[in-house]
Amino acid sequence: MKLKTVVFTLLLTVLIAYYVYLPLPDGIQEPWKLMMLDAGFRTTMHLASLMHWLGFYHYIWSIRHSTEGFEGMVKGMDSSDSDGGVMPGVKISDITFAGVPVRVYEPPAGGEGHLRRGVMYFHGGGWALGSGKKGSYDTINRMMSDELNAVVVSVEYRLYPEVHFPEPYLDCLNAAKHFLSMEVLARYAIDPERVAVSGDSAGGNLAAAVSQEISSDDTVSTKFSVQALIYPVLQALDFNTPSYLQNQYIPILYRTVMVRFWLQYLGADLSLQPQFMVNNHSSLKHSSITPELRARLDWTVLLQPKYKKSYKPVVVEKGSEGTVKEVPGLLDVRASPLLAGSEVLAKCPRAYILTCEYDVLRDDGLMYARRLQDAGVTVTSLHYEDGFHGCFSFIVWPLDFDVGRRAVRGYIEWLKNNL
């Protein structure tokens, strides 16, 4: 009986180890912690897909429920007050801006006549997951408000599957215009010359797109002073950039998952995923994808040699027909800010762009930094050689990573010195 128990325990241990273990590059620090985190995410995804297949819930709703429960557990381990009020001295208000739900973080009063910074933040999550009110987003927003003496506005834009593009973008744009109005800035004692727009991943996409629109809109008198983008996702035409190929199996954002997020966001048929994976959707046969447009995301020109390595461009001659017509958002700069013309980029505010070596989105951020610089915009491009996608959000125990803490600290310090 004891022998059977030992054998069973040994087999179970081997199976768990096999499930958890994932070969990771030597450059990633704390690899076992990342493996455990990834195993948790994969398990959540598998269970959510099973529930969807059985007809119980949409798989995104299942993932939301699971992650919200975990975030609540982690928050319970943290010492901060999660339900608003004061922490420490930061006032929390859940209101709406132009009908869009937002959470406003106000720092302690700084004295008469002292104007404060303003930051509008869009959370990540593939346009389907996440909330600025929960988990590490709430923690980081509190930190920013307190340390920067800033009024931070976290936007709760609508998500997939409830809506598709352009609704999340429009929510963010409408909230931004409301925030930048002189009436609102005066109400919160914000200096109109010191207002930032920021976001990570899908939120970085929204921040870049909103920044472009606000910068070009002559009806908006107050503009964003800076844009701070954390590993932003910026284009959906090339899923075979060096970083997409190099990091396609690196957690926590796999290449297949990012392609699926894009299809969901653009309201496309998910059966198109294999076509997108091999760039059939952006083949040379599509006359609407002009050479000028392709040049705006030509990584062979825009990336430094150390990032290109020995990878070759994947350009398909014929590919699938009609994809651009089926998915018009593919070429919409509001969805893919990297496709904007240089005349648009030239009007954008100075930028901070954070990228991570082990991230499928690395090259999106690096190419955008290069294009902004070429357009005459001052850019601070900060690259974390040991970073992975999502690390910015992992700063709260037990999901804390050293690279995440360094990334958040560097981000806040840049805002302190540039906003």
Nearest of 116, 61, 56 to residue 419 by alpha carbon: 116
The β-bridge partners of 122 are 155, 199
CA-CA distance, 237 to 332, in Å (whole number)?
11
Return d(Cα 6, Cα 55) in angstroms, integer: 39
Q: Tokens standing for 341?
A: 């013309």
Strand partners, 198: 121, 228
**Sign, CA torsion 104/108/109/114:** negative
HEC secondary structure over 336-367 = CHHHCCHHHHCCCCEEEEEEEEECCCHHHHHH
- Torsion on CA atoms 96, 98, 104, 106, rounded to nearest 10: -130
From residue 21, alpha-carbon distances to 40, 251, 252, 306, 401 in Å are 12, 12, 14, 29, 18
Answer yes or no: are the C-beta atoms of 351 and 227 closer than 8 Å: yes
DSSP string, 19-78: HH-----TTSSSHHHHHHHHHHHHHHHHHHHHHHHTTSS-HHHHHHHHHHHHHHHHHHHS
Structure tokens at 161: 């599957």
Among residues 146, 359, 363, 364, which one is catalytic? 359
Candidates 123, 281, 286, 389; catalytic one: 389
CB 243 within 8 A of CB 373: no
Structure tokens at 285: 């046969």
Contact 235, 299 (CB under 8 A): no
- Spot the catalytic one: 62, 131, 201, 283: 201
Q: Is 389 a catalytic residue?
A: yes
Q: How far apart are CA 380 and CA 63, in angstroms?
A: 35
Query: How far is it, in rounded angstroms, from Cα 255 to Cα 217?
Result: 35
Residues tagged active-site: 201, 359, 389
